[in-house]
Amino acid sequence: MTTNHGRLHQLGLHHGTDKATYHGYLDFYETHLPAAVGRLLEIGIMDGASLKMWHDYYPDATIVGVDNDEQRGRRNIPGVRTVWLDATDPSEVELLTARLGPFDVIIDDGSHMTADQQRSFELLWPAITPGGSYVIEDLHTSHMSNYVNSRQTTIEWLNDMAAQVDGGHNVAISTIIGFWKNQGDPAGFVARHGFPTGRDLWIGPERAESITAIIVKAPAVDRNLADHFAADMVTDDDEVD
């Protein structure tokens, strides 16, 4: 059976990003991310493959990549702004967002440590434009003990967040959309928040090899409410040794 992939997936294959070659995220992104953006930020640069892909997919956008590794953060990628910084450091993130934000899309493809995922969201959520999208990739690390260094795994944390949205207790978020793919499953599975068995749908079988989620900011929300929500979701006390 042949699977027809979209343009973003084809660009991902062209540039060799594992978002296409291994995880299979890109058709999901093409469906749920905006067709055009003004500014996109990605945490985690590696060899620059996905940043090159985003530059080709959003040719009129400002594409920014950040990394806490100096060599990667200083990498020269044509058409892309690269920055050496720690996306979990409040002062560095504040400087970044003041100079280059706000962003229509932010993708966290960084360390995949659960505390880092949650901390970066807390710091960067206020820099998302109304109606914009915050993506947390490779959530399957919530099932890997060497990546869990927070009170809750990031999947558990997202389920709590989805419950707040469903219950009307969080007006800062429009929706949360999850995707997981098992080995040999080319299509994966898409689940929106609000399913009665949401936890099972979010996690899928624990053998799921690739899990990602998109958190969509409400299109017209009071900024103070949005910022207050993010501040309440994660605290420094959540980190564990």
Side-by-side strand order, sheet with 39-43:
80-84, 62-67, 39-43, 103-108, 128-136, 210-217, 173-181, 189-192
- Given a cut of 90, whether residue 226 has pLDDT beyond it is no
| CB-CB contact of 125 with 211 (8 Å) | no
- Given a cut of 90, whether residue 130 has pLDDT beyond it is yes
Residue by residue, DSSP assigns 77-127 as -TTEEEEE--TT-HHHHHHHHHHH--EEEEEE-S---HHHHHHHHHHHGGG
pLDDT at 185: 57
pLDDT at 83: 97
Q: Which two tokens stand for residue 69?
A: 């590794």
pLDDT at 221: 54
Q: Higher model confidence: residue 208 or residue 177? A: 177
* Percentage above 70 pLDDT, the chain: 78
**pTM of the predicted structure, to 2 decimals:** 0.85
Give the mean pLDDT of the chain.
Answer: 83
* Candidate from 30-39, 183-192, 209-218 with smallest mean pLDDT: 183-192
pLDDT at 191: 46
Cα gap 98→94, rounded to integer Å: 6
pLDDT at 43: 98
Residues with Cβ within 8 Å of 43's Cβ and at least 6 positions away in sequence, in order, are: 66, 67, 87, 106, 107, 108, 109, 110, 120
Closest CA to 161 of 190, 127, 121: 121
Residue 216: left (phi > 0), alpha (psi -120 to 50), or beta? beta
Reported as a pLDDT band with limits 50, 70 and 90, residue 187 is low
pLDDT at 177: 84
pLDDT at 235: 42
Length of the chain: 241
* Candidate from 76-90, 101-115, 183-197 with smallest mean pLDDT: 183-197
| Secondary structure class of 18 (helix, strand, coil) | helix
* Candidate from 49-58, 61-70, 166-175, 187-196 with smallest mean pLDDT: 187-196
The helix (H) or strand (E) run that includes residue 53 is helix 49-57
- Given a cut of 70, whether residue 197 has pLDDT beyond it is no
Which residues are known catalytic residues?
Answer: 112
pLDDT at 207: 56
**CATH annotation of 7-233:** 3.40.50.150
Cα gap 34→117, rounded to integer Å: 22
